[in-house]
Amino acid sequence: MSEHPDAYTLLKSIIHHSASSLPIETKLDQMVQSISSAFQSDRCFLLRPDQINQNGFLSRLASEKKPFWMDEGSSFQGDGVLLEEKDLLSPTFACIPLWDETTFQGILYISFSNKKKLSPQDVDLLLLIAEEMRASIRNACLHQKAEQTISELTALHEMGKAVTSTLQLSDLLELILMTGLKTLKAKGGVLRVEERRTGELKVKSSHGDYHQNPLDEKIARRVFFTRTPISLNHSGKERPFLSILCAPLLSKGGVLGTLTFYNKEADPSKFDERDFQLLLTMANQMSCAIENALTHYEISNIAQELEKRVQQLSTLWELSKALLTTVNFERIIHLTLTAITIGDGLGFNRAMLFLVNEKGKTLEGILAVGPDSAEEAGRIWTTLSQRKGTPSDLIAQLQLSPEGNSILSSMIKGIQIPLEQEHCILSRTVLEGRPFNIQLPPAGEEWLQIHCERGCNLGSEVGCGAGEHLSHHPRVYSFATVPLWGKGKVIGVILVDNLYNQNPITEDDIHVLSMFSNQAGLAIENAILYRNLEEVHQELKEAQTQLCHHEKMAALGELSTTIAHAIKNPLVSIGGFARRLDRAIQNESQEKRYTQTIVKEVARLEKIFNDTLNYIRDESLVFKEYDLRDILKKSLSMISEGFDDGGIHLVKEFADGLPKVIGDDQQLKQVFFNLITNARQAMNGKGTLTIRIYPISRNGSPFIKMEVEDTGKGIDPENLHNIFNPFFSTENASLGLGLSIVHKIVTTHRGQIEVDNHPGKGATFIVTLPAKKE
């Protein structure tokens, strides 16, 4: 048993190896070892397909699928043997190609250094062993394939489990990438998803730093747009080798994104066709899950948005409800600004209201609500957060007074901005009728005046609070303005900022603020109209009272006229005959006193009647142009006696170039007469009486003012409201018609009368009369 091996022992050994659970390569090595030792060959090995040169002798053998024998008696000249294959040409050798149906598995080679004859048993034995090796290889292949399939299936199963475990988009994408990495045993990966709004392909999840390579994005974009997967082995001169697999994530009719993997964690790090197929399978399966998650993500976004909108609408509703609780102007504007500043409302830090003054074409600061300092802000917020109730309840409970007196509010109240200013944001808000949302980095003191170059002092006013604050918190200050719409026109502006908490003002904030201010605008306009209506109503009421008063007076007048006339005739007789009697009686006699008393008392009675009748009657007046100084001189000449005794010093201050007044000279004389008489009575015969006459101009029309100033006792404040009433007098001897006649005459002349009263020091009556235009 030296020449030929023991077939039984060899086959036993081969079957033993074949059945072992060792790896296929080890199995084959052991089998080759067994063959070699059994046949005592020089060389024996299994050539795998990748070790065989394609154009050589061996490859020809492989393609012929027939074993080749070279032994004693064979004639082989080495035709078609490549140089590298020459080494195989031993004196005796055999090559047995191993074929598994369609797959070439390799060539079993055995050689002997001496020439010998291979017996038919040897040939049979070798073929048998080759058959066994082929089967082993096939089994191993099948096993390997089965194992791989199982691991892939496991991976896919894992992935399926994973993708159904969450609808959180970011979690899901992370899971997909990690499972992919595990399944493909890749070193790195990148998952990109298209942003639906922008159409941008964005990295959502990555492992390793491959996504930083510009090549990665290039490949992903190409795959995304062509919807075709790519398998690429990239090697550059200076760059390390890259094996890349990239697949599009396809959904119903669209591309969601791309999934890319880099370099296998093996040597070589190249992905094979199987990996590629696996990736495609994965990509297909994942797309659906990603699409679902994306849809879920979008829907939940929409739901959140809707929830926010509902919240905003309910806040707006609450605030509008609060606005409906009153028509009082002060309360409405206070409510509006409070609603804008409280946390449950719109939540701005400060709010300021400006209203358009249509006559003056200006924008006027009306009210501001907001803390004066950061400390106060904190205190208010703490208090408010402890209160319970809906915003409308909270607002309804608010007191009016404290806010109106804040430093901020009093600053705002002084602001007046001409409406034609193009640079002032507030003015532009009115003129352009749109909101402004402005972010400014703090640039010194003049940070807002950039927009108010023509002297609008808003910048400095709002800025002095903001400037101080910003010096402690050097961050960006932003503010926003919205127009306040009435019916078809802008009636004002609301300015808001977040000075204390520095929250940015978003477009959404502006949107809600605009919605609210639209309602507030109407409410404020209504309140203004209501206020005007109330004023008119009040005026009407006053006019009605006055009318009643007039009617009463007229009735009284008619009665007095009748009585007065009935009494006047007898008075003439009594007085007339008394005078006759008086003249007839001797001066020294007792009767002379009687008659003189009758004469005097009748004269007094006649004066009373004349005064009364003068007040009551509607004289037909004759209006002519007069120089007021002439009329005054005539009046003074009538009463000169009182000034003669030197008790009263008369001062006349007349301006030059006086325009003429238009009036009835008799009546105007009466005005002077009564005012001077009044003043003399007040001074009780001692003091200084100053009369001034000077021109003034009101709204472009000329007027004349005359003042009658005395140094008497002044008017008791208690009586001040009564002095122009008829029959009111503090003098027992007076009928009390003097000042009321003056008042009546001045009013008839479309003038005004005022009193500058200093109790204890004197009073000045100031009459303003319209003058003739030059």
Partner 1 sequence: MKRILIVDDEENIRFLYKEELEDEGFVVELAQNGEEALEKLPLFKPDIITLDIKMPGIGGIETLKRIREMERGLPIILCSAYGEYKQDFTTWASDAYVVKTADLTELKYTIRKFLGLL
Smallest distance, partner 1 to C-beta of residue 629, A: 24
The residue from 150, 153, 622, 651 that contacts partner 1 (CB under 8 A) is 622
Least distance from partner 1 to the Cβ atom of residue 677, Å: 20
d(CA 438, CA 719): 58
**Choice from 4, 60, 413, 568 touching partner 1 (CB under 8 A):** 568
Taking CB under 8 A as the rule, does residue 745 contact partner 1?
Answer: no
> Rounded to an integer, what distance in angstroms lies between the CA atom of residue 51 and that of residue 86?
15
Q: How far is the CB of 637 from partner 1 (least distance, A)?
A: 18
Of the residues 613, 658, 662, 766, which one makes contact with partner 1 according to CB under 8 A: 613
Burial label, 310 (beta-carbon count in 10 A; 0-12, 13-18, 19+): exposed
Cα separation, 675 vs 110, in Å, equals 153
Count Cβ atoms below 10 Å from residue 506 Cβ, excluding itself: 11
Question: What does the DSSP 8-state code read for residue 43?
Answer: E
Which CB sits closer to partner 1, 84 or 618?
618
| Single-letter amino acid code for the residue at 104 | F
The residue among 450 and 622 lying less far from partner 1, judged by its C-beta, is 622
Using the rule CB under 8 A, is 604 a contact of partner 1? no
Is residue 627 near partner 1 by the rule CB under 8 A?
Answer: no
Contact code string over 699-728 relative to partner 1, x by CB under 8 A: ------------------------------
Does position 619 bind partner 1 by CB under 8 A? yes
The residue count for binding partner 1 (CB under 8 A) is 25
Among 268, 576, 685, 759, binds partner 1 (CB under 8 A): 576
In the three-class reduction of DSSP (H, G, I as helix; E, B as strand; rest coil), residue 100 is classed as: strand
The answer to whether 414 contacts partner 1 (rule: CB under 8 A) is no
State in angstroms the smallest separation of the CB of 686 from partner 1.
31
Kindly compute the dihedral angle of the four CA atoms of residues 461, 466, 468, 470, in this order, to the nearest 10 degrees. Answer: -150
In 81-229, the DSSP E strands lie at 92-100, 103-112, 186-194, 201-207
**Is residue 578 a contact residue for partner 1 (CB under 8 A)?**
yes
Among 119, 439, 573, 597, binds partner 1 (CB under 8 A): 573
Tally the C-alpha atoms within 13 A of residue 128's C-alpha that lie toward its C-beta.
15
Nearest approach, Cβ of 607 to partner 1 (angstroms)? 10
> In this chain, which of 225, 577, 623, 727 binds partner 1, going by CB under 8 A?
577
Binding mask 538-567 for partner 1 (x = CB under 8 A): ---------------------------x--
Distances (CA, A) of 180 to 232, 244, 265: 17, 13, 13
572 binds partner 1 (CB under 8 A): yes
Q: Which CB, 127 or 571, lies closer to partner 1?
A: 571
Does residue 599 touch partner 1 according to CB under 8 A? yes
- Does 624 engage in binding with partner 1 (CB under 8 A)? no
> Contact with partner 1 (CB under 8 A): which of 106, 442, 465, 575?
575
Q: How far is CA 635 from CA 62, 611, 656, 765, in A?
A: 151, 16, 20, 16
Residue 234 or 593: the one with the smaller Cβ distance to partner 1 is 593
Collect all residues with Cβ–Cβ distance below 8 Å to 258 and sequence separation of at least 6. Answer: 190, 191, 192, 201, 220, 223, 224, 246, 247, 248, 249
Of 313, 320, 349, nearest in space to 518 by CA:
320
Question: For partner 1, which is the closer residue by CB, 277 or 573?
Answer: 573
Using CB under 8 A, pick the residue from 441, 570, 647, 685 that binds partner 1. 570
In angstroms, what is the minimal distance from the CB of 650 to partner 1? 29
Cβ 572 to partner 1, closest distance in Å? 5
Figure out which of the listed residues 606, 611, 627, 665 binds partner 1, where binding follows CB under 8 A: 606
Q: How far apart are CA 460 and CA 455, in angstroms?
A: 10
How crowded is residue 433: how many other Cβ atoms within 10 Å of its Cβ? Answer: 12
Among 11, 89, 141, 574, binds partner 1 (CB under 8 A): 574
Strand partners, 110: 44, 94
539: exposed, middle or buried (C-beta count within 10 Å: 0-12, 13-18, 19+)?
Answer: exposed
Hey, what's the torsion of the CAs at 290, 296, 298, 299, to 10 degrees? 160
* DSSP states of 566-624: HHHHHHHHHHHHHHHHHHHS-TTSHHHHHHHHHHHHHHHHHHHHHHHHHHHS-PPP--E
As measured in angstroms, the least distance from the Cβ of 626 to partner 1 is 17
Q: Between 372 and 606, whose beta carbon lies closer to partner 1?
A: 606
- CA torsion 146→152→156→161, rounded to 10°? 80
Q: For binding to partner 1 (CB under 8 A), which residues are involved?
A: 565, 568-580, 599, 602-603, 606, 610, 613-614, 617, 619-620, 622
